[in-house]
Structure 1
Amino acid sequence: MSRVNYFLISLIFLFIVGCQQKSRDDHEIYIGTISGPETELMEVAKVVAKQKYNLELKIFEFEDYTMPNTALAEGAIDANMFQHQPFLNIVNQERRLDLIAIGKMYIYPMGIYSKKYSELQSLPMGAKIGIPNDPSNEARALKLLEKAGLITLAESSDLQLTPNKIRNNPKNLHFQEVTAAQLPRALEDFDAACINTNYALAASLSPADALFKEDKDSPYVNIVVVNNSEKDKEKFEKLMLSLHSEEVQAKAKALFGEYALPGWK
């Protein structure tokens, strides 16, 4: 099978690095994704890459946001597709990695969702708000809440942006940090929550029903990432052509409707 779960990839990662396996050749790419719809896009790109460019893609499917960059930095995989530039900036800074984006994919707008209220104005004083607990998506959620007019933030980098950086909070909102993937399942426990589109759709939440969401000007476009020392390899050009193909765009429309905004156009 082309997909490998989180536990198996950990073992494979250790084996590959421990044995100092040679780099894949110019006709093969090991690429990491996060479980969910984006892996389905990569499956389509895999077919296109083989048919049009004689390029073999082997997909490794992860369950969290940590392992794909670890595996890439150590050479267990050649590329990954799961993150946006603000997240990559934080990872490179915190862990002193040298990873670089080689192309853009889609913007999946984050939204503010609620099963208790139909408009932002109805949120009560002291409302309990769920936000992602990883640094980049937490900063993204707080900026969304600010844009929605619910809070005002002090100037801060994404790496330092937490609820402690809230300057004005007129409704005295209370924030609880939760793993991004768990927020849709925990939505009933909150008055509202900031949820990424991929997780919202997987939980049968429609972005059309979000109380507020990002627009096409969002800087959080998903990117394809490789090691900086390998960025000029021809096989990565073929990878991006495959990912931007009409076939992949059609699959994105089928999966996300109008809520997958091409970030490269």
Structure 2
Amino acid sequence: MLGDNVQPNDALHNEEVDANFFQHVPFMEEYNLNNDGELTPIESIYFANYGVYAEEYEQMEDIPEGATIAIANDISNIDRSLQLLEQHGVIELEDTDERYYTQTHIAENPNDYNFEEVDLLMLARMYDDADAVVMTPAYAEPLGLTPAADGLITEGTENEFAITLVAREDNADSEPIQKLKEAMMSDEVRQFLEDNYSETAIPAF
């Protein structure tokens, strides 16, 4: 059993498993950078509809000036959270040649929001403590929240953050991995996602 969001990549990197399926490509790239890894994307499978959730507010505009918004603290998801907020006009980011946006790139924050960076696995717990939380459906669903019903703003599909089948460079073209890719891109999988997870897992293939 793997207990955090790094262990699945450690297991893949160390050849304990042949593939994993839990992350978007920027998260994988950051792992490679920090661990001299050779993980590689095989296929994007679905978009996990990222969103902002708040216990006390029904619209983004209701969140008061100076409020605290919790976001994940790993660099790829800081970037993702800030891009979501900019997409909906909550903040404005300055242009940069760097791979990821961080809070240092916030050019305009008209409501003077405080963005508190916490461990990804702590986001759901922050729902009661912060004024709002930016998180994926995987963390929102156990709280009884869905993007359509409860998301103040949501991400959609025009982004690079699809949940992706990942393998290593040394086995990416192997027959088992290619067969797994074909199976995960089947009409049956698409139909399953559309029938059971239409709000939270939007097919990316």
The TM-score, its normalising length taken from structure 1, stands at 0.72
Contact 1:116 1:191 in 2 (8 A): yes
Cα shift at 1:80: 0.7
Q: 1:107 aligns to what SS in structure 2?
A: strand
Cα shift at 1:138: 1.4
Listed one character per residue, the Cα deviations across residues 205-237 of structure 1 (whole Å, up to 9, x for unaligned) are 111121100112122111111110111111111
Amino acid at match of 1:241: E
Structure 1 CA distance for aligned equivalents of residues 36 and 103 of structure 2:
26
User: Does residue 115 in structure 1 map to residue 115 in structure 2?
Assistant: no
Structure 2 CA distance for aligned equivalents of residues 199 and 253 of structure 1:
20
Contact 2:194 2:202 in 1 (8 A): no
Contact 2:194 2:203 in 1 (8 A): no
Contact 1:109 1:213 in 2 (8 A): yes
User: Does residue 104 in structure 1 map to residue 44 in structure 2?
Assistant: yes
Cα shift at 1:255: 4.1
Cα shift at 1:250: 4.1
CA RMSD of aligned residues (A): 1.7
Cα shift at 1:148: 1.6
Query: Given the alignment, which residue of 177, 194, 198 partners 1:257?
Result: 198
Contact 1:86 1:158 in 2 (8 A): no
> Which structure has the greater CA radius of gyration?
1
Moved more, 105-114 or 91-100: 91-100
Contact 1:148 1:212 in 2 (8 A): yes
Q: Which has the higher contact order (CA 8 A, sep 6+)?
A: 2
Contact 2:193 2:203 in 1 (8 A): no
Contact 1:136 1:158 in 2 (8 A): no
Specify the alignment match of 2:77 in structure 1.
137
Query: Given the alignment, which residue of 192, 195, 202 partners 2:132?
Result: 192
Specify the alignment match of 2:24 in structure 1.
84
Assess, with a 3 A threshold, how the Cα gap between structure 1 residues 133 and 100 changes in structure 2: closer, same or farther: same
Cα shift at 1:262: 1.1
Structure 1 CA distance for aligned equivalents of residues 201 and 169 of structure 2:
27
Specify the alignment match of 1:44 in structure 2.
none
User: Does residue 230 in structure 1 map to residue 171 in structure 2?
Assistant: yes
Structure 1 CA distance for aligned equivalents of residues 10 and 170 of structure 2:
16
Contact 2:49 2:200 in 1 (8 A): yes
Amino acid at match of 2:47: I
Q: 2:71 aligns to what SS in structure 1?
A: strand
Structure 2 CA distance for aligned equivalents of residues 258 and 176 of structure 1:
27
The TM-score, its normalising length taken from structure 2, stands at 0.91
Give the number of equivalent residue pairs. Answer: 203
Contact 1:130 1:175 in 2 (8 A): yes
Contact 2:22 2:165 in 1 (8 A): yes
Structure 2 CA distance for aligned equivalents of residues 192 and 183 of structure 1:
10
User: Equivalent pairs: percent with the same residue?
Assistant: 33
Structure 2 CA distance for aligned equivalents of residues 196 and 137 of structure 1:
10
Contact 1:123 1:191 in 2 (8 A): yes
